[in-house]
Structure 1
Amino acid sequence: MPYRQAVEDVMAVLRGQWTVAVLAALALGETRRKDLLPAINAVDERVGRVSHARPLTDRVLEDTLRRMQEDGLIGKRAEPGPFGATWYSLTPTGYSLLSALRPLAEWAQENRYSRRRQSGDRPAS
């Protein structure tokens, strides 16, 4: 596969503004569905909603989880019974993607201010 196509493929997998947040939340281990939404929103609130203008909604989370399952990034386990919990966890592919994102995040941190200067923005003090 050509390099450009590979980059475009991974960008397609990362589509949606909440995919990375879900990857990060599940990096800590298998998590109940009902705990994901508050956990992700708590992190966003703690860092001052830098990446997202509004909190994650239940509908958007459900769409994100479904898409990530289709892409093979996460697995779903449902407990039997009418009150059984649904659990999500990263697959080996999901862990691999999360590891591959680390150098990209480091690049973004290292180049954050130089990109702002080039665009005329000033860093927050």
Structure 2
Amino acid sequence: MPTRTAAQLRAERSAAYDAYLAECPARKLLDRISDKWVSLAINALADGPQRYSDLQRRLASVSQKMLTQTLRNLERDGLITRTVQPSVPVRVDYELTPLGRSLLPLMQAVKTWAEQHMDDVEAARAAYGA
């Protein structure tokens, strides 16, 4: 096997994670983190560990099934941890991992942008429909 340069190795890694390709793992991760419940859950966990019931209250209108599925997926992807506290009744806390915290500034920026520009989007929608 021929020796490859550092530039060739970087190019190979870059090609392996080209989100424009349908089967790319990075694309699948983008699909995951672009989900509204994922972004809201990550933002909700910014202040520290929270219980399931706290998250459900904070994420208005999320179903129990969807919140459970979202939290499981985030845990599987290494973005949150689930800690069971041995108490009566049992307490389960969810918290961002260091990897999840590294995603937080992006998610907060998207949420802030949406809140700040919603009037502009609504105006564009009204103009488009007219």
Q: TM-score, normalised by structure 1?
A: 0.68
Larger relative contact order (Cα-Cα within 8 Å, sequence gap ≥ 6): 1
User: Quick check: which one's helix share is greater?
Assistant: 2
2:83 to 72, 77, 102: 77
1:38 to 17, 41, 57: 57
Query: Gapped runs of 5+ residues in structure 2?
Result: 1-13, 20-24
The structure with the larger Rg is 2
Report Cα offsets for 1:42-97 as digits up to 9, x if no partner.
xxxxxxxxxxxxx1111110000001101111001001256210000011111111
1:117 to 116, 119, 124: 124
- Residue 12 (1) aligns with residue 31 (2): yes
Identity of aligned pairs, percent? 27
Distance (whole Å) between structure 2 residues aligned to residue 62 and residue 34 of structure 1: 11
Structure 1 pair 7/104, CA: closer, same or farther in 2 (3 Å)? farther
Number of aligned positions between the proteins: 109
Query: In structure 1, the residue corresponding to 2:89 is in which secondary structure?
Result: coil
